[in-house]
Chains A and B, each alone.
Chain A
């Protein structure tokens, strides 16, 4: 369980990782149950909104506008943030971001930090980097705490410990917090976490967070959360460092009107998040006095440059696409070999790595379209998946290895066959002859060689019928209006 790597440069290809995880029946049960619960809640609160489709369109427009003029809005945000008393840092990649955070912490003489759940910090492996430099980290989000205590990796964008059930959490807390009598009642588990964390909130002087939105107009940061741990981290420490991808900026404060309706409904199935924090700069005597934001690129500029796939950056990380995805439902998040899993991870991860890694991910989808249907900012994930597949195929064109690639040979051959009805008819006839040795007495094929063998791992295939449709059509008597 702890052996999964979420580093796309080292992760196993999706089919291989997935095949291993599919054997973990407990994990599959946990994932199916949790995503079913969230989906039911989401469906109920989405159904309440008569203008849901209009809200989706408005959300998409807000995000598109931000991306269209990203440079302008980022500079505006920077200016406003500085004016309000904060410090702005720009990080081109993960290493630079790690170095900036470590520098700020060293200057503040901080040796420990409390953290709000943040996928961006997971993306840049901030915890590992800080720990190796002697900084102690306390994750304060309940799910993140579960993962930290169990030395595990997140498997979901908003519910990172979604793959665990409460019996497993009880076992972990009991062991790590030395609570032999702990029960698996949710209230008992959260109380244990609360007592454990309260002490950290009160003593640790520096915090690291992500950001749901950066507001260009006012230089504000917005974070939504459910547990109140975020509010603690944002108000109690002296030093606060926010790390956000450059795409997180939105133009106007009033854009929150739309996004704070669609995000909680899509993410947790709530009308509103229990805690919505929006803060601007430094206020003397109130809250963090040493305020920093790190604006992270880490491949995003390259995503932005592509007209078709830039919509990926519209994402507001609600994870509705994960919850509805029938593939994610089977495998959970770890199969994706990236902190960003599910349909959005399948399009974001390979792009962040400039299509040098994670090339199996665009294929990790049956293109059922459920993700697009639920996306609150209308990212056409199937469209991007198929587009990225073509980029994967195109980058291999002309390479020697592709000459011997079964799939490529098959595709090329089929394309040639389909270009001529004569060739197509000949192929239909030939297939009927070639299949003969494979057809069983029951008229079905139970085993196929090569790639086709992947079909027969779980499915039979009926033998070709004796007559194709076009043969039948041509044999029809003219009187029936058949022949032309």
Chain B
């Protein structure tokens, strides 16, 4: 299958390891990965902070870049949620008939990374090997917008030698929320504090999720507290050991 990768702006800049893992796994599974270099950002940060006018051209750019893709893989649940939930609204409020059609046509071909594996490629065992204690944080957008449910966990359960530990209140927000983390820094930090406590209670070596934004937030406090737990995108775990 020809899979177009939308890496997302912050993964591109801050978490290239996630993108490399996605590419490595998908190629390992026998697919061709394409990375259109014109891609930048889906517009989520602007839209969610109230800058809809600025988000609109970014959304249109995204649509035109990926219009001909066979499938689009996005290793970030919140960006997928932006495209699925907010692009139709942007087309509607700008009376953009053309955009509305493009959204309609592209949406069925857009997949969050774990969705692509479980729903489209019908895989739950990707042959990964990861001999570590891991706990899973359910990122809000994956959970409540994409309804990922236990799809990521099903993938993780099939990883060789992994030890999965349940995170208390795994479905409670870590407090990131994009610009919320800086506009309401104290509340955000208090929420994060609860998350990190629950995380440390698991004695896990690795905290994973489908969204590096939550993981960047969590890792940021773990590092501040000199904790040695690593935050790691699920793609990096699923890609691990496949080269054996």
Binding stretch for chain A, among B109-117, B124-132, B150-158, B189-197 = B189-197
Please determine whether A18 and B54 come into contact, CB atoms closer than 8 angstroms: no
Please determine whether A367 and B54 come into contact, CB atoms closer than 8 angstroms: no
Q: Indicate whether B241 reaches chain A with its CB closer than 8 angstroms.
A: no
Chain B interface residue number, banded: 35 or more
Bitwise, A385-409 to B at CB < 8 A (1) or not (0) is 0100111111000000000000100
Please determine whether B27 and A418 come into contact, CB atoms closer than 8 angstroms: no
Please determine whether B183 and A367 come into contact, CB atoms closer than 8 angstroms: no
Q: Indicate whether A363 reaches chain B with its CB closer than 8 angstroms.
A: yes
Please determine whether A462 and B14 come into contact, CB atoms closer than 8 angstroms: yes
Bitwise, A453-484 to B at CB < 8 A (1) or not (0) is 01101111110110111111110000011101
Q: Indicate whether B45 reaches chain A with its CB closer than 8 angstroms.
A: yes
Binding stretch for chain B, among A69-77, A255-263, A323-331 = A323-331
Please determine whether A457 and B38 come into contact, CB atoms closer than 8 angstroms: no
With contact pairs A415-B58, A418-B40 given, residues A469 and B20 touching in the complex (Cβ less than 8 Å): yes
With CB as the reference atom, state the residue of chain A lying closest to B55: A415
Q: Indicate whether B50 reaches chain A with its CB closer than 8 angstroms.
A: yes
Q: Indicate whether B133 reaches chain A with its CB closer than 8 angstroms.
A: no
Docked CA distance A364–B190 (Å): 13
Q: Indicate whether B33 reaches chain A with its CB closer than 8 angstroms.
A: yes
With CB as the reference atom, state the residue of chain A lying closest to B65: A421
Q: Indicate whether A65 reaches chain B with its CB closer than 8 angstroms.
A: no
B55 CB to nearest chain A CB (Å): 8
With CB as the reference atom, state the residue of chain B lying closest to A463: B14
> Which of B16, B33, B37, B177 contacts A366, CB < 8 Å?
B177
Please determine whether B184 and A468 come into contact, CB atoms closer than 8 angstroms: no
Bitwise, B41-76 to A at CB < 8 A (1) or not (0) is 101011111111111011001000000000000000
A318 CB to nearest chain B CB (Å): 19
Q: Indicate whether A412 reaches chain B with its CB closer than 8 angstroms.
A: yes
Please determine whether A367 and B182 come into contact, CB atoms closer than 8 angstroms: no
Q: Indicate whether B80 reaches chain A with its CB closer than 8 angstroms.
A: no
Please determine whether A464 and B223 come into contact, CB atoms closer than 8 angstroms: no
Contacts of A393 in B (CB 8 A): 49-52
With contact pairs A15-B184, A363-B180 given, residues A418 and B34 touching in the complex (Cβ less than 8 Å): no
Please determine whether B223 and A444 come into contact, CB atoms closer than 8 angstroms: yes
Q: Indicate whether B172 reaches chain A with its CB closer than 8 angstroms.
A: yes
Q: Indicate whether A111 reaches chain B with its CB closer than 8 angstroms.
A: no
Please determine whether A369 and B145 come into contact, CB atoms closer than 8 angstroms: yes
Please determine whether B183 and A363 come into contact, CB atoms closer than 8 angstroms: yes
Please determine whether B181 and A330 come into contact, CB atoms closer than 8 angstroms: no
Docked CA distance A72–B179 (Å): 43
Contacts of A202 in B (CB 8 A): none
Please determine whether A330 and B185 come into contact, CB atoms closer than 8 angstroms: no
Please determine whether B41 and A418 come into contact, CB atoms closer than 8 angstroms: yes
Contacts of A454 in B (CB 8 A): 181-183, 185
Q: Indicate whether A188 reaches chain B with its CB closer than 8 angstroms.
A: no
Contacts of A452 in B (CB 8 A): 182
> Which of B57, B58, B177, B223 contacts A365, CB < 8 Å?
B177
Binding stretch for chain A, among B95-103, B159-167, B198-206, B213-221 = B213-221
Please determine whether A22 and B190 come into contact, CB atoms closer than 8 angstroms: yes
B212 CB to nearest chain A CB (Å): 11
Contacts of B177 in A (CB 8 A): 365-368
Please determine whether B223 and A457 come into contact, CB atoms closer than 8 angstroms: no
Most chain B CB within 10 A, of A15, A370, A391, A415, is at: A415
Q: Indicate whether A372 reaches chain B with its CB closer than 8 angstroms.
A: yes
> Which of B43, B55, B189 contacts A458, CB < 8 Å?
B189
With contact pairs A15-B187, A458-B192, A481-B27 given, residues A464 and B173 touching in the complex (Cβ less than 8 Å): no
Q: Indicate whether A95 reaches chain B with its CB closer than 8 angstroms.
A: no
Please determine whether B40 and A326 come into contact, CB atoms closer than 8 angstroms: no
A246 CB to nearest chain B CB (Å): 27
Q: Indicate whether A47 reaches chain B with its CB closer than 8 angstroms.
A: no
Most chain B CB within 10 A, of A362, A390, A419, A464, is at: A390
With contact pairs A459-B192, A480-B27 given, residues A372 and B144 touching in the complex (Cβ less than 8 Å): yes
With contact pairs A411-B51, A454-B182 given, residues A22 and B58 touching in the complex (Cβ less than 8 Å): no
Interface residues of A in 244-302 (CB under 8 A from B): none
Q: Indicate whether A52 reaches chain B with its CB closer than 8 angstroms.
A: no
Contacts of A81 in B (CB 8 A): none
With CB as the reference atom, state the residue of chain A lying closest to B195: A326
A67 CB to nearest chain B CB (Å): 20
Contacts of A469 in B (CB 8 A): 7, 11-13, 15-16, 19-20
Please determine whether B40 and A366 come into contact, CB atoms closer than 8 angstroms: no
Please determine whether B51 and A390 come into contact, CB atoms closer than 8 angstroms: yes
With contact pairs A327-B191, A366-B140, A418-B9 given, residues A473 and B46 touching in the complex (Cβ less than 8 Å): no
Please determine whether A460 and B220 come into contact, CB atoms closer than 8 angstroms: yes
With contact pairs A368-B140, A415-B51, A419-B58 given, residues A455 and B181 touching in the complex (Cβ less than 8 Å): yes
Docked CA distance A484–B39 (Å): 14
Contacts of B48 in A (CB 8 A): 367, 386, 389
Contacts of A417 in B (CB 8 A): 40
A349 CB to nearest chain B CB (Å): 16
Contacts of A366 in B (CB 8 A): 140, 173, 175-177, 180, 188, 191
4 tightest A-B CB contacts, nearest first:
A366-B177, A459-B220, A389-B50, A458-B189
Q: List 20 A-B contacts (CB under 8 A).
A: A22-B190, A363-B183, A366-B191, A368-B177, A370-B144, A373-B144, A393-B49, A394-B53, A418-B58, A420-B40, A421-B37, A451-B182, A457-B185, A457-B189, A469-B11, A470-B37, A473-B37, A481-B27, A484-B34, A484-B37
